[in-house]
Structures are given as C-alpha cells and as structure tokens.
Structure 1
C-alpha cells in the first residue's frame, strides 16, 4: 500500500507589519492550491521579515481569512510569524487549519541581527498529516546539520522549511536541501520569500522548490510574489 501527500510551497504578497492583509494573501494562495493538503509559507510570512514586529497570538482574529480558506479546502497551512510566549519572542511556524491556529515550531538557530530580537527555540518538531510525518525548520536551521539530524530522528517522512534569501543566494538553498535529502532520505520543501521585506531584503529571491529524496528538484515556483509550486509526495507503505 502506498501513501501520498500533495504539498504546495507558496510565495505570498507581503505588506510590512500588516497581518490582516498578509493573512488574506495567504488565504488566496491556499485557495489557488486547492488540491494541496499542506501549503508551506516563507519565514515570517505573516508580518514580513520585520524583527521588531510584536508576537502574533494564534487566536488573533486577523487570521480568520486564512482559517476559513483552510476550512474550505481541507488544507493545513504552515505560516511564518513572530510568536510568544512573553517575555521571549521567537521566529515561529503557525499551523493553521479549519480548527484554528497553533504554534507548531520555534526556530532553533537564529543568527546575525535576529539574536538581538529573538529567542532560539529549544526542540525540533513535526506535524502529522494523513499519516505522513513532516519535520519543521526555518531558514538558518536548514544549514545546521544538528537541527536536521534531530528533526529526522523524530521519524519524519519530509522536511519542510520557510526560508528567506537574497536572489543571488538561492544556490545555498539547493545545496542545503540536497544534503538533507541525501543524509536523511526524505523529501525536502522550502517556501522562499519573494516579496521585498525588512532588514535589507529588498531582493528576496523566491524560487520555492520541492526536492525528492534522491536530490532531484521536482517542482519550482517563479521569482515573483504570488507564485507557487505543487507536488505529490509518494511513499511506499
């Protein structure tokens, strides 16, 4: 018996600090990827890469359009946002579905200016959808072998990350994804920020991709906000 899971990596339009507008943009992409069971979004996608943005509570009413889109399509959205709890603030991943939102993961490895604003998370995490175990990561995490190894040790079938890189750095994403796939025998999906955003990222590169366990790129989005890519991950029983 084989299992399968249809995954989308999506690049929303983003307005700095405007959670309401960004939630609507996320919802539009969830609806466009209507046959995807999971839709992955970039790092800090709900606020922009604005490290001074306040934590976004999972119960924030501005997330309602995204929750509604997930309810309509049956999708799980993995969206980036600053999250609590206070007094710390983390770069997090919100898991959003028909039942609402919850914090699914906190970025374990922060770097550069992030360390002035954000607290590192302490543990790897996964979400399970239709029996498929999806490990989570955010940007710099993907370049730290320890994080991938600890995530893989949870018994994951795929490794999903929201990332942000300059357009001339996209080769780094490919190198990291191929290494993770080769070392751990998993599918890899990176949702890459495409809209201009804060802290010097006027040229975010987009090109979100999905890699097979053998390192092949099987789906790739374009460089623009609003682009997405979809692929069905297949597993032996």
Structure 2
C-alpha cells in the first residue's frame, strides 16, 4: 500500500493587538478609534480588549451586528481586508467578541467564564469558538477564560493554532495577562495573542494595565505594547 504524506504550508499571519482609547457608552466614537487602529496596524487580524466598543460597562445595551454605529470599523476592515475582533456586550446578554471583516459583522464568541459582578448582568457562553483565517485556526477567549485551564484545553482541542484573548486587568494586576499567556502557550504549544485594556475603561477601572502582546508557542513574549491607551503592536505568526 502506498503511503501519501500531505504537508500543509501556511502563510505567515500578520496580527496586531490594539488598546485604543475607549470612552464609556460612546460606541460611535469608540468604533471610529477602532477603525484608526485597524488602519495603523496594517495587519490581517487585529485583536481588541474585552468590551472595547462600550467600555467595561455591564449595563451597556447589547450591540447588534447591524448597529449603524459600527460603520467606521466595518469600513476600515473592508478597505484593508482585515479581520477585527472587538469586544462588546451582545444579545443574551453576553460579553462577546464581534468579528468584523469585509463581509460584515457577526458574533464570533461569547465569554464562558464570568467573574466579579458579571453574573448579575450577563449570561455565560456555552462553547469555545475557533475561526479559520488563511489556513490558521484562531481560538477565541475573553479575560477570565484565560485563567481557566479547561477553557484553553477545550479551545485547543478544536484544533486552535493560536489563542486570541481580549482582557481587562487593573494596573495593579499588570502581571496577570503575561502569566496566563505564558502558561497557556507552554501547556499547549500554541501562540497566544492578548489585547489588554489601557487607560480608563469604566466599571471602576480607572487605570487599566495595557501591556498587550504576542507570545510564542514556547511561552516567550515576541512583541509587547506599553501601558498607554492608543498603542498598537504588530507581529507575525509563522
């Protein structure tokens, strides 16, 4: 019997983490600043923090994918052929990830593991999610998901090559995203991409950590942003 070996060659994936200035409940203004970040990143995929489109406001009205206030972000993604993964409350209500690309807007993921006051306002998502982009399998996560080992395990079990998360930590807990990213990468041999809020986000977070970054499958940081709002850091997965 002849043995056939198939080699899959993936194109390197240029990916960015963005921590835009966010104003609470200002969806239209936040979408415009997200659009600016997409254009500045010049990347195939841009990852944004948890609830980046509304600020961390648990009483914010859920965003529908066809909300006209998202037009600036939709336009930027169409112009640049970018997939933007933006944080927002979505119908349910859930803390969600909106996938914005040249085809439109859709809810790509709903946060599974809630913390703090979140269970009083939001429902947990039911299942992990993975997106296919240019031959890469990109798993999605939001904040506390990243600190829950079974979440990363379930996501990688779906064939994820990379684990992409939007997070929010206070400046006093700035080491937490790095610790979690290193652990997930080292445990599963996957790339980890974390977009972390910077500046004031609402919800009592007057000074968020920033420090968004990309970690290699060996658990080493490849690129990091600083602590300031408005920063974008871009790297390449190979």
Stretch of structure 1 that moved more, 196-205 or 100-109: 196-205
CA distance in 2, matches of 1:39, 1:228: 9
1:18 lines up with 2:18 in the alignment: no
1:124 lines up with 2:124 in the alignment: no
CA distance in 2, matches of 1:61, 1:3: 34
Task: Report deviation, 1:2.
Answer: 4.7
1:110 lines up with 2:110 in the alignment: no
- 1:76 corresponding residue in structure 2: 83
Task: Report deviation, 1:3.
Answer: 2.9
CA distance in 2, matches of 1:179, 1:205: 19
Question: 1:79-90 counterparts in 2 under 5 A?
Answer: 79-84=86-91, 88-90=92-94
Which of 184, 188, 197 does residue 192 from structure 2 map onto? Answer: 188
1:4 lines up with 2:15 in the alignment: no
Question: 1:1-237 counterparts in 2 under 5 A?
Answer: 1-34=9-42, 36-84=43-91, 88-234=92-238
Q: Which has the larger radius of gyration?
A: 2
Does the aligned pair in 1 maintain the 2:10–2:134 contact within 8 Å? Answer: no
TM-score in terms of structure 2 length: 0.95
SS of the equivalent of 1:13 reads coil
* Equivalences, count: 230
Runs of 4+ in structure 1 off by over 3 angstroms are: none
Does the aligned pair in 2 maintain the 1:108–1:120 contact within 8 Å? Answer: yes
CA distance in 1, matches of 2:177, 2:12: 25
CA distance in 1, matches of 2:125, 2:131: 16
Which runs of no fewer than 5 residues in structure 2 stay unpaired? 1-8
TM-score in terms of structure 1 length: 0.95
Does the aligned pair in 2 maintain the 1:222–1:228 contact within 8 Å? Answer: no
The RMSD of aligned alpha carbons is 0.8
